[in-house]
Amino acid sequence: MVKVTILGGGNLANHLISVFLKTEGILLQQVFNRSLHKIKKFEGQTEITDNLDSIRKSDLYVICVSDSYIETLANKISNLDGLVVHTSGAMSLDILTRHNRKGVFYPLQTFTKDKNVTFENIPFCLEANKESDLEVLKNIASKISKKVYAIDSNQRKKLHIAAVFVNNFVNHLYQVGEDICISNNIPFEILHPLIIETANKLSDLSPREAQTGPAKRNDQKTIAAHKEDLSTDLKELYSLLTEAISKTETHGNKL
């Protein structure tokens, strides 16, 4: 039985607490958060506390707070023995300066409050400064997910950039699509099946193989007609993405 302590009360912390509570082989023995009310609902299922001094000995301490607070919180628990990990895609392992045994336990997914999460298919990106601790993390992650990867800090940084492109930036393009629909009295739901299929295609085809449309076909007539219809900001975005697709067609991989 691995004894685990979670520090944090946000979205991800809540999802991790829920899954750890129901996973065999894991004993979630304590949850700490500065505001007790955010973890109040777990009272009775695990010990909850807002007092760092009352944190007990555990095998694994999972720091699950916003990026800017990780270092401060880690330093406050530098007296504790055991493996200390954070859950951030953007922060290096080395941010945990005062701990001898440290690691990263990063589930690569976008978490929505109040929306149930099935961890089974969420990739866990793991790192530790000791090989034996990487094994500890792999063991725990594989209890809740089928997808477990060893990813070092440099790779994780790149992965985080890639995630910004395929999540935040993609979501912004969805929003552009919605804005265009709203302005023209078109229900945005018309585009949902296309959006889902575009994402699903990746299980069969690489994005390069899956690409279609006026930029790929170099259909200048359609491109010009589209630009005419767009506001200045959107025209700039349209042009840049169209050029980027054309360059890919001409030069292949551009990194």
Shortest spacing between CB 151 and its own copies, in angstroms: 7
> Dihedral through CA 126, CA 84, CA 145, CA 8, nearest 10?
-120
Q: Based on CB atoms, which residue is closest to its own copies, 41 or 199?
A: 199
Nearest distance in Å: CB 189, its own copies? 8
With respect to its own copies, which residue has the nearer C-beta, 1 or 255? 255
In whole angstroms, how close is the CB of 1 to its own copies at the nearest point? 29
Q: Please identify, using beta-carbon distances, which residue of 100 and 168 lies nearer to its own copies.
A: 168
Please name which of 66, 110, 111, 74 lies closest in space to residue 90, comparing C-alpha atoms. 66
Q: Smallest distance from the beta carbon of 234 to its own copies, in angstroms?
A: 7
Burial of 233 (0-12, 13-18, 19+ CB in 10 A): exposed
Question: What's the min distance (Å) between Cβ of 44 and its own copies?
Answer: 29
Check if the beta carbon of residue 55 is closer than 8 Å to that of residue 76.
no
Nearer Cβ to its own copies (75/199): 199
Q: Reading across the β-sheet that carries 102-107, which strands appear in turn? A: 47-49, 26-32, 2-7, 60-63, 83-86, 102-107, 124-128, 148-150
Nearer to its own copies, 52 or 90 (CB): 90
